[in-house]
Every structure is written in structure tokens, then in C-alpha cells.
Amino acid sequence: MVKKSLLRCFVDGQWITTKQRFSNINPVNGEIAGQVCEADAALVDRAVQAARAAQRGPWGSLSTAERAALLHRIADGIEQRFEDFVAAEVLDTGRPVQQARTLDVPRGIANFRSFANLIATASSEMYDSTAADGGRVINYVNRKPLGTVAVISPWNLPLLLLTWKVAPALAMGNCVVAKPSEETPSSATLLAEVMQKAGVPHGVFNLVHGHGPAAAGEFLTTHPDIDAITFTGESRTGTTIMKAAAEGVKDVSFELGGKNAAVVFADADFDAAVAGVMQSSFTNAGQVCLCSERVYIERPLYARFVAELQRRCDKLVLGYPKDPDVDMGPLISHEHRDKVLSYYELARDEGATFISGGGVPDFGDERDRGAYVQPTILAGLPDTARCVREEIFGPVCHVSPFDTEQEVIARMNDSPYGLAACIWSTHLSRAHRVAASLNTGIVWVNTWFTRDLRTPFGGSGLSGIGREGGRYSLDFYSELSTVCVRI
């Protein structure tokens, strides 16, 4: 079961208990679920040095097939402790149990299996060409590990996004020092236990708990012996990490925030579009970087669509994670709830109409001490309003009518972010045309959150740098070296 009493760091194959600790808070009721050992600068350095030593040891000489087999053993280990991982995700985030069972933990398993299969079947790149004097030349590409990779993962999808980075990093022969969010330390600690049991060599995977500025996060990203940094989180934090990475010119991969837009054309399948916007706005209490916070609806459909959206929003069930009918859990913390509520107040100041929500639910029990907010639909704000331009990262969307295709494309692109967008239309040629015109890393047509793990994922602008997924992850987590042979 999940060790709720004390979560320790894992460095060089050893469990480390530190004197400095912080509390792990259950967002459902505000209770302290356990204590977490916090890594200081010395322990972070120890983790980095252990990773570098492991890179020089037997780990560096493992074959691709041996690494693939190890990744499968890790996936097996997560499967064997499936319910423990579900409990860890629910404890830290308050998300519905069903979501953890059907999304978070299965994706964690799939991440290890997909990259194990990818490296086991990937063929070398080879090019046959002719030299200037007519001689034959063969070029082939070697992939070498970067070395020691710092993995900084967020709190919104803790296991899914941690494994999304760790799996390809290990697949390419790197060593890892991982720091999960201080809000969600449990599943990362379980993963370290699985790594140990699977036989991952000492120092290959290290786990340090702690906060960001002037703490474990900063100690890790500014460490001179880190070779690359991969980070998912707020754009502002990504800017800080990028400044640190400039010292030493380290490779970086950032998946940052988004102010994602969805467009509903009048010819859309009405029920599918309403269900899709509900899902893309309120899944995980809106705490997904891919959620839709801006919804543009073609004017002939606007009134009907908003009325149905309101009806369904008002019926969403907020409750305990284990409740069979629960639709939405709490936000991750009281601090984050304060941020979301501050945007609700800002929306009022900016003149928004609240179609649904806008406050805090009243349960009359211990959940009133939790971090719940009402799912909220806003309307009536101009595109220049802060609530329409800034990422809120809560269960909220702003709805607005539009009249022409050209107009809505311009409005959707009018954002410093460029992560994701949704198009709802049965007009296939228009859907393709609009998708090609949007400045985002991913565009969904008549669906949301569906992904093939082999495809590139990432954003532009304030939404990040680089792409992850399939071979695109392999490109980041490896150094490419070309060998040219004259024969």
C-alpha cells in the first residue's frame, strides 16, 4: 500500500531519510496525509554524481534489447501494484478513482511499454551516396545518451507525465534525477520502489523531493553536471529554468502552459460537440494543460449551445474520489484554489457574465476544508480581457460567438500560447483548412485528448520548446552522431 507516513528520497539505490520535511496535504479535506523528506543541495549533488557514475558503469554498456527488457519489467511492476498507484494518485490529487484507473496508471504502464517496443524495433539510419571523386560513401547515424537528465514533472497528471519523460530517457541509455511536484510525491515514490525491484542499476534512477526556488528544483536545474533538462509546468517557471540552462548550454525540452481554444461551427454534431467541450473544459477540474479555456461558437448555434452547456455544467457532481457518480474532484491545493478564485473575481471586475458557477461549493462536511471550486462558464468578455488571455488552469471556460471562419481563426491565433485547439465541424474540408491555419502544436477535430503515443507533442510560444512522443522523444534524449565511411 501507499506509505502515507513518510515518503523518502531515493538516491544511488538507497532510500534516504532527511531531517528537513514538508507535509503532503490531501486536497479533498485539507488533512495532512503524510510527511515528505526534502532534499537539500548536498543530496541533489549526491544524486547527480550517482547518475554520472552509473553512466560510466555497466548501464552504459547495456544493449538496446537489454534496456527494452528492463522497461518491460518496470511496466510489469506498475501493473503488479496497479491499485497502489491508483491510491497514490487519488491521495495526492483528489481526482476521481475512475480517472486514475482508466487514464493515469494505464498511461504510465503504456509509456514504458511503448518506448521499450520502439527502441527494440527501431532501425539505424543509413545513407548510401557518392563522393565528389566518384567513390562510394556510406553514412550511418549513431544515437548516444545525453548523460544525466533532470526530469521535473508537474502535479496535474503526476504519474503519466513523469513516466512520459523517464521512459524515453532510460530507453536511450541516460541516467535520471527526477523531482516530482511537491504537491504530488506519492506515485513517484512508488515508481522508485518499482525501479528498485525491477533491477534498475544503482544511480540510473534517482528521486529527490522538494520545492522549486532556492530548493531541490533550483539545485537540480542549476547543477553544472546536469546534461539536459526536461520540464512540464508553468511558463514562468520554464523561463527561469531556461536561464539556468543557458549556463553550460544544456539541452531543454519544455511543455508549458496553454490558453487553448475550441471552435464549434454551426454544422457540428451538436451532442458530440457539447460533450466534447464539457470534457475539454472540466476534465480533472480543468487542471490539464490541454483543456479548452476559450470556446468560440458560430452565432446561429450560440444560444442553443450555451444553454445546453449550462445545463450539463450545473449537473456536474463534485464529491469524494471514490463516489461512483463523481464527475469532478478538488483543485490540487488551497493555494491553487485561491489563484482560480482570484480569476473569478477578476472576471467580475472585467464585466463577465457568469452563466454557471463562480464560487465555492457548500458540502456541509469535511470537504468544505478541501480545495473545491465550482465549474464555471463565463461570457461577455472581449478578447483583450485578462481572463480570456491568461491561463487560469481551473474548471472554467469563456464562451463567445463568431460570424466567419476568417474571424475565428484570427481570434484563436491571437494568443501568446500555442499548445492545442479543438475544431467541431462535420465539414471535413473546412476542418482541414482551419486546422492548418492554427498556430498550435496539436489540433483535434471532433475529439479531444486522443493521442497516438508515436506522434509529436508540444507547443510554441509560451507553450514550450521541442516535441515529445515516439521518435521525437528519442531525438531529444539522445545525441546524434554521424559516421561517414568510404568504401
366 DSSP assignment: G
Handedness of CA 142, 148, 149, 155 (dihedral sign): positive
Cell of 344: 473569478
DSSP per residue, 199-266: TPPTTTEEE----STTSHHHHHHT-TT--EEEEES-HHHHHHHHHHHHTTT-EEEEE----EEEEE-T
Catalytic, out of 9, 37, 175, 289: 289
3-state helix, strand, coil in the chain (%, to 5): 40, 25, 35
Residue 416, classed as helix, strand or coil, is coil
d(CA 473, CA 316): 37
d(CA 404, CA 391): 25
d(CA 388, CA 393): 12
Q: Determine whether 289 is an active site residue.
A: yes
Catalytic, out of 38, 182, 218, 255: 255
41: left (phi over 0), alpha (psi -120 to 50) or beta: alpha
Q: Determine whether 255 is an active site residue.
A: yes
DSSP per residue, 121-156: HPPPPEEEEE-TTS-EEEEEEEEEE-SEEEEE--SS
In sequence order, the 6+-apart residues with CB closer than 8 A to the CB of 87 are 1, 2
What would you report as the CA-atom Rg of the chain, rounded to the nearest whole angstrom?
Answer: 23
Q: Which residues are catalytic?
A: 255, 289
